[in-house]
Homo-oligomer: A and B are copies of this chain.
């Protein structure tokens, strides 16, 4: 573990030198806001003061090292803060590593998968699968008991099932009078589900119960990889798809859902963070005529990029397979099937993204604790 050799006030903040020779600096206001003393934080970790309760320019007085931690006495406040070295090291204000992701195409060497019964009893297996799921934006679970309702049980273990107008879970079967083309035997181009919803479902689970009809293979495409390619090939088109929102709509007798969102969303740092793509529920865009025409060109190009065979991961779900997808990244589709020559029955549900992230952090914490206890 790194140790702090030297800590002292520097203009407007605190400077420290680490045992490996590197140095760090924290602005006084940042440091004061992070004070974790019992006056500043409840035992549950929640902050007890508001930003307006702090001095506008906190003044660092005496700084000492106390058993490896840095103790800061604040001038004019009669307040003392203690910062453990681990906390300071993790928070040294370099841009935090965002969770890594791995873009993929048809040549992905191995599906990120795990056996359900192993994952259920082994936290290491579950953590490894979750890490792989977060890297790829999807993961496959094998040998999940192929019984109705099971998909929602898995959803509630990984996070929390989100009920929608389709219910807590939904069946994907060929129906005579479907309110959604998912429930036909038609092939479906890759898409994200429910872009007409606000918020769009973050994660979709699809569990195969029966699959003996010819056809109906699953297709997955990494929407982030396709969008990165568009950004490289045609930056103005990429830009247009991030700036001009599209409207999506789903309406039946009980529902009229509409949402407006760009096809490609980028976060405040320009990283691609969501794809909304669904030809069936795309309602339209508005804007000046020249923007509309340019937008359609970009839309067409992006659709072509998504359809390149080298992007398409094609595989067949067998009964017991359960696919977990980041709905705004791993776009999914299927080939047509023949409902006269066999049956195909999937069940699906939606959960929120944060549940799976929380579960991953929790498993990391439990495993680290178990290791410490074993030492």
Interface contact A259-B354, CB-CB below 8 Å: yes
**Among the listed B95, B287, B300, which residue makes an inter-chain contact with A56, where contact means beta carbons less than 8 Å apart?**
B300
Interface contact A292-B30, CB-CB below 8 Å: yes
In Å, the complex CA distance between A361 and B50 comes to 40
In Å, the complex CA distance between A49 and B279 comes to 7
| Contact status of A198 and B354, CB under 8 A, knowing A25-B289, A30-B296, A289-B13 | yes
Residues 272-295 of A, flagged 1 when their CB comes within 8 A of B and 0 if not, give 000000011110111111001100
Chain B residue nearest to A351 in the complex (CB):
B163
A39 → chain B, closest Cβ, in Å? 13
In Å, the complex CA distance between A198 and B267 comes to 13
Residues 183-211 of A, flagged 1 when their CB comes within 8 A of B and 0 if not, give 01010010000001111001000000000
Residues 159-192 of A, flagged 1 when their CB comes within 8 A of B and 0 if not, give 0111111000000000001111100101001000
**Among the listed B33, B56, B93, B303, which residue makes an inter-chain contact with A52, where contact means beta carbons less than 8 Å apart?**
B303
A288 to chain B: which residues have CB within 8 Å? 93
Interface contact A257-B354, CB-CB below 8 Å: yes
Interface contact A362-B255, CB-CB below 8 Å: yes
A190 → chain B, closest Cβ, in Å? 10
* The stretch of A40-48, A125-133, A313-321 that contacts the partner chain: A40-48
In Å, the complex CA distance between A251 and B358 comes to 9
A366 → chain B, closest Cβ, in Å? 10
A52 to chain B: which residues have CB within 8 Å? 300, 303-304, 307
Which residues 341-375 of A have a CB within 8 angstroms of B? Answer: 352-354, 357-358, 361-362, 365
A304 to chain B: which residues have CB within 8 Å? 52
In Å, the complex CA distance between A58 and B284 comes to 17
The answer, yes or no, to whether A74 is at the interface (CB within 8 Å) is no
Interface contact B292-A27, CB-CB below 8 Å: yes
In Å, the complex CA distance between A46 and B188 comes to 12
A42 → chain B, closest Cβ, in Å? 6
In Å, the complex CA distance between A268 and B56 comes to 33
The answer, yes or no, to whether A73 is at the interface (CB within 8 Å) is no
The answer, yes or no, to whether A2 is at the interface (CB within 8 Å) is no
